[in-house]
Structure 1
Amino acid sequence: MELSLSLGHVTSCSPQAIFKDPFRKGNNILVMCDCYTPAGEPIPTNKRHNAAKIFSNPEVSAEEPWYGIEQEYTLLQKDTNWPLGWPVGGFPGPQGPYYCGIGADKSFGRDIVDSHYKACLYAGINISGINGEVMPGQWEFQVGPSVGISAGDQVWVARYILERITEIAGVVVTFDPKPIPGDWNGAGAHTNYSTKSMRNDGGYEVIKAAIEKLKLRHKEHIAAYGEGNERRLTGKHETADINTFSWGVANRGASVRVGRETEQNGKGYFEDRRPASNMDPYVVTSMIAETTIIWKP
């Protein structure tokens, strides 16, 4: 399939993943494509191409990398670009009661969130949960566990579906990692990750070795983990400082968090808490796999 771009160039779209269309239903489908120049080179925004090469590497495919991505986002009032439920030109009460909150004074936009969840289920996306976040008007959905390149496909299509649903509702969705300055939580895309070796007995030692590799490439990962992340990764509001790598068990203030259950079982997964909400899931998932499996310090 060929498309003409606004600059007059022609690009070829290559279908890669198919989902059921939750808007038109019936036999209609949504197709995730990646795009190439007439010479067959991936266009600059085609991050799937390189990710697919990493995931097809024999070392990576043998490890069957699993991902669970926690996609946060903020709903905004269309005419003011101010968070949904906030008084125009003003602020709500301090953070605290909004996280997983209920009630018209604490939860804003649940109809959108539930519609998105149902639409993703219909589409065949492996969406595994939703919750209200710490900042009012901010929400999260989780995709996974997904294997390899499918994690990126599913997150991108889930984002598309969310944009369509907010359009219908007359609400704006933003993936800005710090939409409101000050004493308010930012928005991230925490990425949970495991390999076959991590999930098997003795996996905790594999996890610790992988985290050490991530530490050594901290700057490279931060550079690829989303735009404006320096406004979010301040060391406050459940984040680590952007310039310092840290990890810990059950530590929400660390760059990488290991769950207590993983420590107790001696195997499992870990959570990279650094990615911003606007990160490219193809870039983040493949880079984690490349660093922890292929890269040799």
Structure 2
Amino acid sequence: MAKLKLEYIWLDGYTPVAGLRGKTKIVDGDADKFTLEDCPMWGFDGSSTKQAEGKSSDCLLKPVALYPDSSRENGFIVMTEVLLPDGTPHPTNTRATIPDDEGTWFGFEQEYFFYQDGRPLGFPEGGFPAPQGPYYTGVGFKAVGDIARTIVEEHLDACIDAGINHEGINAEVAKGQWEFQIFGKGSKKAADEIWVARYLLLRIAEKYGVDIEFHCKPLLGAYDDPLDWNGSGMHCNFSTEFMRTTGGKDYFLKLMDAFSKYREEHIAVYGPDNHLRLTGLHETQSIDQFSWGIADRGASIRVPHSFVKGDAYKGYLEDRRPNSAGDPYAIAGRVLQTIQTVPTS
């Protein structure tokens, strides 16, 4: 038997963006045989996380996913749902509210900025770096610096060690901006892994004195203003078993009609301040419009060439509207709700 270090993580009650919280529980066990079922229920003081009042502050943590933590000897990360004392889901528990189906696949493209000393990493004090252009998928100190590359490589290894289905990384369009991609079969699995990947990124950045900025538009300004740098999205790629195996143009057009009909419902859960990002500029559609287009990065939903190949209309689609600070549980849940309004026969 060994002393196992279980880092329980959960989403707090802050709005409009929930924060990640974590604390460590020590248990006896065999690290090679330890499973999710071995993780006990736990609790925390909800009055300190905006999830309870001080006169009745107990909240419960229900383990829902387990990941090896390679940064600790005998360490694990335990993703949890927050429950009320009676065992029912807490109002902040978005994971418990969404449907799940292993046949529905999601891929999230998480963009973010590195920040240090109150500005994006690589921005000079009191000024601006060279205009956008050389940073996207950039190589070399002038393009990406050194700390960022160190952090993203360490983060990549940590995610892979944890068993997260990490699909890639790249420097993004703005100076100090990066992206990682996560794919999962099932809405809850994919969203769990985004949250754990976010947690790992935040924790790794701590030792370098760097913050992670998930706000969708941290740098503002007019289109020709040096402050108007690209915002950050979390594009949501999705497919159902029917979309992958059958599809068809008629079904696709009905699906796009449904996404257009529920545009406001989608925008409501796609992340705060999205009006600052979805302006119709910088490869975005305006927040008050809906459009789809083949390989169109300015559309609300981008249709890959592979989807329409041979007039098949079969495969996956990319919703480009979710932003970098969005809750992947709520995003995936809303996408599923809309898909389920369209009959497949």
For normalisation by structure 1, the TM-score amounts to 0.92
| Map of 1:153 onto structure 2 | 192
Alignment partner of 1:111 is 2:150: yes
Given residue 94 of structure 1, which amino acid in structure 2 is its aligned partner? Answer: P
Q: Is structure 2 residue 317 aligned with structure 1 residue 276?
A: no
How far apart, CA to CA, are the structure 2 residues paired with 1:3 and 1:73? 29
2:279 to 231, 234, 237: 234
Matched, 1:34 2:81: yes
CA contact (8 A) 1:198 1:204 kept: no
- 1:67–1:144 Cα contact (<8 Å) kept: yes
Q: In the alignment, does 2:58 pair up with 1:10?
A: yes
Question: Which SS does the other structure have where 1:129 is aligned?
Answer: strand
1:84 aligns with 2:121: yes
1:255 counterpart = 2:296: no
Contact 2:165 2:182 in 1 (8 A): yes
Cα offset, 1:204, TM superposition:
4.8
Q: Counterpart of 1:156 in structure 2: which amino acid?
A: W
- Residue 145 of structure 1: CA displacement? 4.0
Unaligned runs of 5+ in 2: 1-41, 222-227
Corresponding position of 1:207: 252
CA shift for structure 1 position 42: 2.1
1:45 is aligned with what amino acid? T
**Higher mean Cα deviation, 199-208 or 107-116?**
199-208
**For 1:195 and 1:201, how far apart are their aligned partners in 2?**
10
Task: State the alpha-carbon separation in 2 of the partners of residues 220 and 98 from structure 1.
Answer: 34
Are the equivalent residues in 1 in contact too, given 2:166–2:181 (CA < 8 A)?
yes
Matches within 5 A, 1:25-174: 26-51=73-98, 54-55=99-100, 61=101, 64-77=103-116, 79=117, 81-108=118-145, 109-174=148-213
Aligned to 2:13: none
Q: Which residue of 2 aligns with 1:192?
A: 237
SS in 1 for 2:290: coil
Listed one character per residue, the Cα deviations across residues 112-152 of structure 1 (whole Å, up to 9, x for unaligned) are: 11111110000111000001100010000000143231011
> Identity over aligned residues, as a percent?
46
Q: Is the 8 A contact 2:254 2:342 kept in 1?
A: no
Deviations 1:67-120 (CA, angstroms, capped at 9, x unpaired): 11000000011x2x1000111111111111110010111113111111111100
Query: 2: CA distance between counterparts of 1:159 and 1:203?
Result: 36
2-structure distance, mates of 1:191, 1:280: 11
RMSD after superposition? 1.5
Q: Aligned equivalents of 1:2 and 1:86: distance in 2?
A: 42
The answer on whether the counterparts of 2:103 and 2:186 sit within 8 Å (CA) in structure 1 is yes
Question: How far, CA to CA, are the matches of 1:205 and 1:98 in structure 2?
Answer: 40
Structure with higher Rg: it is: 2
How far apart, in 1, do the equivalents of 2:184 and 2:64 lie?
19
Per-residue deviation, residues 168-193 of structure 1 (Å, max 9, x unmatched):
11101010000111321100000000
Residues 1:42 and 1:132: Cα distance change in structure 2 (over 3 Å): same
Segments of 4+ in structure 1 off by > 6 A? none
Q: Are the structure 2 counterparts of residues 11 and 22 from structure 1 closer, same or farther at C-alpha, using a change threshold of 3 Å?
A: same
What is the distance in 2 between the residues matched to 1:69 and 1:295?
A: 23
Aligned length, in residue pairs = 285
* Contact preservation (8 Å) 2:61, 2:83: yes
Q: Quick one: distance in 2 between partners of 1:175 and 1:113?
A: 15
CA contact 1:238–1:253 (8 Å) conserved in 2: yes
Give the letter aligned to residue 12 of structure 1: L
